[in-house]
Amino acid sequence: MGFLTILASSAVLSALSISNLGLISSMVGFLHNQKDHVGTYQINWSTPVQLVVEPKHLWTDHGHTSNGVAGYGFFLGLFGVFVAWKQRRSSGRPPSKSLLALLVLQFLAILFTLSALIFVFLVTNQTKGQSISQDIARSNEAYPADKWTPETWFKAVLDLPLADQHHHDNIKSKVRNMEAWRWMLIPIFFADIIAFGCTAMEFLRKRKEANTIDYTVEK
């Protein structure tokens, strides 16, 4: 049964990670599309302003970190499935090198995901609740005040009187994706822990089983 728990937990980790990769890729594609093809949003203040789609100080490092976590988790999950499949006929043998490697990589995944989780939520909390000031915004110039994440910036843009309803609806949809990939780090973190636990239990079981066989042979 040990290989089944490793197989299932690795498959779940891989599925969660590839889903998050898709959400993050959607955000990156959206940012490039807005910058390359939209350029500015018309804001219908008393004096209309053509607001540049991205602010001057846009923080994207947390997105790159999360992308790394998701990519690592996806390939680690596939490796876990491969190791589990190899383990199905290894009864009575000591833990294999591939099982030990999986255990080490899963432990590193826990540390990596936890670090990313703290970083992402810290950066988001530091930049949330800000607003775009009409007094500071200038047409065709990147908004110069404050630091932003894509999520907090576009939430602030949604609070403005956007002239184009299509832009409003598109931004609203993408903001939901940004929130989703941030929160998806939590189940990925728990999936890392569960996968590590399953592998550790199998590793200890096989080592105990091998030691018992050796002791019996010696007697």
pLDDT above 50: residue 217: no
Residue-wise pLDDT for 61-115, tens only, equals: 999 999 999 999 999 999 999 999 887 776 667 778 899 999 999 999 999 999 9
Residues 26-71: pLDDT tens digits?
Answer: 999 999 999 999 999 999 999 999 999 999 999 999 999 999 999 9
Report the DSSP pairing between strands 49-52 and 40-43: antiparallel
pTM above 0.75, yes or no: yes
Name the packing angle between helices 150-158 and 165-218 (round to 10°): 150
